[in-house]
A and B are shown apart, each in its own frame.
Chain A
Amino acid sequence: MLRYIIWRIAMMVPTLLIISALVFTIIELPPGDYFESYAAELKAQGEDVDTAYLDTLRKEYNFDKPPVIRYFYWLGGMLQGDFGYSFEYQLPVTEVVGDRMWLTVLVSFVTIVFTWLLAFPIGIYSATHQYSWGDYGLTFLGLLGIAIPNFMLALILMYFANIWFGVSIGHLMDLKYLGQPMSWDKAKSILDHLWIPVIIVGTAGTAGMIRRLRANLLDELQKQYVVTARAKGLSPFRTLVKYPLRMSLNFFISDIGSILPAIISGAEITAIVLSLETTGPMLIKALQSQDMYLAGSFLMFLAFLTVIGVLISDLALALLDPRIRLQGGSTK
């Protein structure tokens, strides 16, 4: 078990390294660097360009070195909590970001919990009442949930919130708390606003999860050990709870790996539409202005979030599944 945990955590390292290399390549791809476009912009506005200042900046951020070296500087910086410099804001990335990262984590986490709370009972109902009207109805709803992309759902909700309540939804908190330090009222305001993005982001994930859970549970219900349990005289309900459901729980936890990237993707795009105070809007702005270090740190952060999420789900699975716990990972 311990060996499995160590091995699993060790496996994260190469994954993160590859991701960082990929992200760095992406942020290096645009021709020229920020300073060039900055200088060009200034020139266009007829202002003087302080080449010396730009050169010092260049030196400071190692832009005079080849990309490979810069990659290692960047990587080393991130390991020490230094995510580089946002040229757009002329501030270190960490300061620009503020609590946006934590709010992203919050939205994603609450969404996952929401997804679970919804998907588990519905999935069970659908599987145990296969081909009933309830099953058909829920399946159809689920399909709609998959078919309507997050940003459209956000648009639709915005539309209805407007014509029904005359309010515009959006933002994660009352605007007066923006930039304020965390307080009780601010937290409450955040919770008040949280449910809309959670519903929007959670729909697609929930729908997909219901579908997969239903299929998985239907599979498990056919298994021989369920017959064994029936032959023991166990009541149908307790049979369901003790065996197939217990099995599906494992599947459920391991499924995080597949929904987490989707949820984070969805959270980003929803955040842009609803202008939430998470990483989304800032990421897109950074991308548009080619503030690549800022964008790079966001990408790295989001990838890190999924990798950690999957790690947690794998470890939880190892705790729950004796086959992994006792045999060290050779499942299936």
Chain B
Amino acid sequence: MVTATDLLRVEDLGISFTTMGGPIHAVRNASLRVLPGKVTALVGESGSGKSVTSQAVMGILPNTANVRGRILFSDPATPGKTVDLLEMPVDGEEIRAIRGSRIAKIFQEPMTSLSPLHTIGNQIGEVLAIHTDLPKAERRARTEEMLGLVGFKNPKRAHDMYSFELSGGLRQRAMIAMALICRPALLVADEPTTALDVTIQAQILQLLRELQQKLNMAMLLITHDLGVVANVADEVVVMYHGEVMEAGTVEDIFRNPSHPYLKGLMAAVPHFDMKPGERLKALREIPINVEHLLGRKKEVAPKGDVLLEVRDLSKSFVTRSSGWFGKSEPPVKAVDGVSFDIKRGECLGLVGESGCGKTTVSKILMRALTPDSGSVIYHGANGPIDVLKAEGDDLRTLRTKIQMVFQDPVSSLSPRMTIENVLSEPLEIHNRGDAKQRSEKVKSLMEAIGLDKRFLKRYPHSFSGGQRQRIGIARAIALGPDLVVCDEPVSALDVSVQAQILNLLKDLQKNLGLTYLFISHNLAVVDYMADRIAVMYAGRIVELAPREVLMRKPVHPYTRALLAAVPFPDLNRPLDFGEIRATSVLEKGWAPQFRADEQDSLSPADLGDGHFVLARRNVDARELRP
């Protein structure tokens, strides 16, 4: 279908905010367009101005914003008529008639975007009430139809449910239903899948694609994820720091990325086809120097023997019952019989979606939580230590030998301490050296993470997320640990910074002979970091294998579903929606040999070469292969 006009034309858009420290130019001379029925993706990292642009299109910018330029909208329902959205009065009748009806938006946070006090149906039907004069019964019928369309199994029931009764994925579906109920010409989707697990993300992307084609609707997709872009977009606009760096068809962008920023971005994303030992190229590479830190380095113990032995860990959480009279619900098994070894010098990846228990495992290893049962043995230089029972000297040894890097770079550094204090605190706690030696050590730590020594007197709030995460890593290696538990160390960071941190972790591992337990929900990141990967689902490890084996020949249906759901920033490897539909992330969709029943419980089946799969005891290993 060829039309002569663009559905949406953003011309020379400039948005600035007046703040105490002078104006901030969020968007500068940005231009982009959306063709009718097509998808334009607006890509950028945090601070690129992409979300502000989408707010400008909807006319919902904060009051402090100054806007220049034009946003032209040509509604296919009224051919030949083009309106400038920016010229309409704020919240006036004209723009309100377009909002929700002709241009609709879905937001990133399905948790907070819906009111908890009104039913889903009420909030969706409201759009109809605003833009049409359908009678109430008709509105309800249409709402239910739409709920069915976005994948609610029982639309009648869903209509009268509240948002807090729904899972994140379902809430996002309800948001989509709300946006699409009036069949808009343009859908603005602001990071629609960022807050979701990867398997849910794939479903939502699929849903959006289907509906977009079915309703012949155009879409302005705002995202930071190049993988999502490659799978959904027709045209792509890349923004950085408020300016358009590169724009073109999806072919141009992925086959021939030209701008150094885009090229840098592409090189910074880990992908599954990396050769062993291939290194990501961070957009902003940091020079590091571990020479001083090494100093008198003790000889690295031979690789390969077991450093940490984890056996049958179980931990249940009792959900808070609603009072003394309420029946308490059965405890939730957060971790259920988890066993694995971590070998000296390796990086063991632990993958799973939110709520699968991976963080609970890490906290048990750090003794921040006490498991209900199970054991953890640490094999240090001076013989084994039972981690869960250690006291006194043994515990002190553990506290130096096992360290942790946290997910949230903001909350992991005390806002009231200078970086120097943060880094010297572990040394003080364990009485390492005198003040002068400690200060020397802190300086060499700063070198090791590539931060300027002048920054030592600064407070954490003066650093970017990536820099803070580096400081967190420096603190973790200050005492010369054997094992570092990295709990989602890069999931709060932009892609370009992510590569920097991953490379830093790799370099430190190599130079200091560290062992990692690397926890992440991102398969590509784990693939880049880990030697072996364990996949967790509902508190259990369902599959554990060396990296290449797990990536190439996954056996467990959950692992396969997880792998199938990862979008690649590569036009040659589009998401296989057929495979996504065929695999299931829910236990009830798995083949029977992977499900427990009354007679037969599950146990890890050895497929050879260190490949284990959780399956029924009596099943032959060959039956498991797909």
Contact = CB atoms under 8 A, between A and B. Distances in A.
B117 A322 contact: yes
A10 B325 contact: yes
A234 B114 contact: no
Contacts of A242: 118, 126
A233 B113 contact: no
A6 interface: yes
Given A223-B112, A224-B109, A322-B162, A329 B322 contact: yes
Contacts of A233: 96-101, 127, 130-131
B126 A4 contact: no
A45 interface: no
B326 A232 contact: no
The range of chain B's interface size is: 35 or more
A322 B116 contact: yes
Interface stretch (A74-82, A183-191, A243-251): A243-251
B117 A246 contact: yes
A176 interface: no
A247 B97 CA distance: 26
B2 to A, nearest CB: 30
Interface string A221-237: 00111011111111110
A11 B325 CA distance: 10
A228 B190 CA distance: 12
Nearest to B117: A246
A241 interface: no
Contacts of A7: 322-326
Given A228-B107, A230-B60, A236 B115 contact: no
B97 to A, nearest CB: 7
Contact of B178 (A6, A232, A247): A232
Contacts of A235: 91, 93, 96
B165 interface: yes
A330 interface: yes
Contacts of A246: 115, 117-118
Contact of B325 (A3, A250, A322): A3
B104 interface: yes
A224 B113 contact: yes
Interface residues of A, number: 33
Nearest to A235: B96
| Chain A contact surface mostly | helix
A247 B126 contact: no
Contacts of B224: none
A231 B60 contact: yes
A280 B113 CA distance: 49
Nearest to A325: B162
Contacts of B326: 3, 7, 328
A4 B116 CA distance: 19
Interface in B100-136: 100-101, 104-105, 107, 109, 112-118, 126-127, 130-131
A227 B60 contact: yes
B186 to A, nearest CB: 12
Nearest to B115: A225
- Looking at B100, B105, B118, B323, the one whose CB has the most chain A CB atoms below 10 A away is B323
A231 B107 CA distance: 10
Contacts of B322: 3-4, 7, 327-330
Contacts of A231: 58, 60, 99-100, 104-105
B320 interface: yes
Interface string A150-185: 000000000000000000000000000000000000
B115 A243 contact: yes
Contacts of B99: 230-233
Nearest to B319: A330
Contacts of B114: 225, 228
A216 to B, nearest CB: 14
B613 to A, nearest CB: 38
Given A232-B99, A233-B127, A323-B116, A224 B325 contact: no
A232 B162 contact: no
A322 B178 CA distance: 21
Contacts of A247: 115, 117
A250 B109 CA distance: 23
A99 interface: no
Contacts of B104: 231-232
Interface in A121-145: none
Nearest to B111: A224
Contacts of B130: 232-234
A6 B325 contact: yes
A328 B328 CA distance: 12
Contacts of B93: 235
A12 interface: no
B164 interface: yes
Given A231-B100, A232-B126, A322-B117, A10 B324 contact: yes
B91 A230 contact: yes
Contacts of B127: 232-233
Contacts of A11: 323
B111 to A, nearest CB: 8
A49 interface: no
B93 to A, nearest CB: 8
A223 B109 CA distance: 11
A250 B107 CA distance: 26
A321 interface: yes
B556 to A, nearest CB: 34
A6 B323 CA distance: 10
Interface in A302-332: 320-323, 326-330
Contacts of A4: 322-323
B112 A225 contact: yes
A236 B118 CA distance: 18
Contacts of B320: 330
A12 B542 CA distance: 49
A246 B116 CA distance: 11
Contacts of B165: 326
Nearest to B60: A230
Nearest to A234: B130
A229 B178 CA distance: 10
Contacts of A230: 58, 60, 91, 99
Nearest to A230: B60
B168 to A, nearest CB: 14
A329 B325 CA distance: 12
Contacts of B60: 227, 230-231
- Looking at B93, B126, B175, the one whose CB has the most chain A CB atoms below 10 A away is B126
B483 to A, nearest CB: 37
A236 B100 contact: no
Nearest to A7: B323
Given A231-B60, A233-B98, A326 B117 contact: no
A236 B324 contact: no
A327 B325 contact: no
A224 B100 CA distance: 16
Nearest to A247: B117
Interface in A53-81: none
Nearest to A226: B115
Contacts of A321: 117
Contacts of A225: 112-115
Nearest to B102: A233
Interface string A27-56: 000000000000000000000000000000
Interface in B238-265: none
Contacts of B117: 246-247, 250, 320-323
A145 to B, nearest CB: 30
B159 to A, nearest CB: 14
A248 to B, nearest CB: 11
B112 A232 contact: no
Contacts of B107: 224, 227-228
Interface of A: 3-4, 6-7, 10-11, 223-225, 227-236, 242-243, 246-247, 250, 320-323, 326-330
7 contacts: A3-B323, A7-B322, A7-B324, A11-B323, A231-B104, A232-B126, A233-B127
Given A224-B109, A323-B162, 9 more contacts: A3-B326, A7-B322, A7-B325, A10-B324, A228-B107, A230-B60, A234-B100, A250-B117, A330-B320
